Amino acid sequence: MKQSGLVVASHGRHCVVETPDGERRICHPRGKKSQVVVGDRVQWLASTDEGTIEKVEPRHNLFYRQDEIRTKSFAANLDQVLILLAAEPEFSEMQLTRALIAAEAEHITPIIVLNKRDLTELHARAFARLEPYVKMGYTVLQGAFKTGDLGDLPERLKDKTTLVLGPSGTGKSTLINALVPNANVATAEISQALNSGKHTTTSTTWHWVDAERKTGLIDSPGFQEFGVHHIDAMQLAAYMPDFKPHVTNCKFYNCTHLHEPSCGVQDAVASGAISPSRYKLYGMLFAELTQPVNY
């Protein structure tokens, strides 16, 4: 008999499905290609000690990155994405912009969190770089996870499914261990079950923050690059809140905002409504998304 379940971990050709009563079972998707990601709601069929995924329920959204070669899916059915940055190491504004664009494209609410507030001088400098994002309307929070200062983050996560995203060294593990005391144990158990050995951090894992299992936190592996090749270059400006209001002022409907006359975006850059650094990022991303792919 088919049962419903939630995918809480995925590694290679295996995944772990959690039943409504909290039991977890290793499952294998049918067919050669695994399409199952953490956060998927599925119908599965039990065998002796494992199970088979029979059906993946329709998703509300899917957060993923894509470069020229491969697509990497993080998680599905998210309420929000927590983009974790830190006072050090210095964050990349390009990587932040890419993650924000990917979230906007899937209609997922992004929250930017700047960790290591205890490094006063470095933190002030980093927060100043985030001021434009506050003006754009993004939620930007601060904390010092190492000292137990999580700010109002626990309240922001309550009753929601949140993917935690960020490069290594930002305090992702510290945050998850503060919110989910047995997170390391749970991850180790899942990894052992999936035979992923010492590569535990390469898999994405779902943690419940509360006993009622209403607040879900998804831990994702760190990454160096965040490809956005799944985004249409002509839609790029629509996913950037500081650009979007000015697009309607362009004379041409297919304006690239790079060289056309009577362009609302270029006028906004000239008037200071869009910062030169953000316009430069746009130009670099547009060039990347329109260059021919060499197979």
- Residue numbering of the annotated binding site for GTP: 115-118, 166-174
Encode 246-283: b = buried (16+ Cβ within 10 Å), e = exposed: bbeebeeeebbbeeeeebbbbebbeeeebeeebbebbe
CA distance 158 to 224: 29
- Integer CA distances (angstroms), 159 to 180, 214, 246, in order: 15, 5, 36
Q: Which residues are annotated as a binding site?
A: 115-118, 166-174, 250, 255, 257, 263
Q: Which residue has the tokens 């599905």?
A: 76
Binding-site annotation, residues for Zn(2+): 250, 255, 257, 263
CA distance 79 to 60: 9
User: CA triplet 110, 89, 170: central angle to 5 degrees?
Assistant: 45
CA distances (Å), 177 to each of 150, 173, 185, 208, 264, in order? 12, 6, 10, 12, 47
Amino acid at 177: N
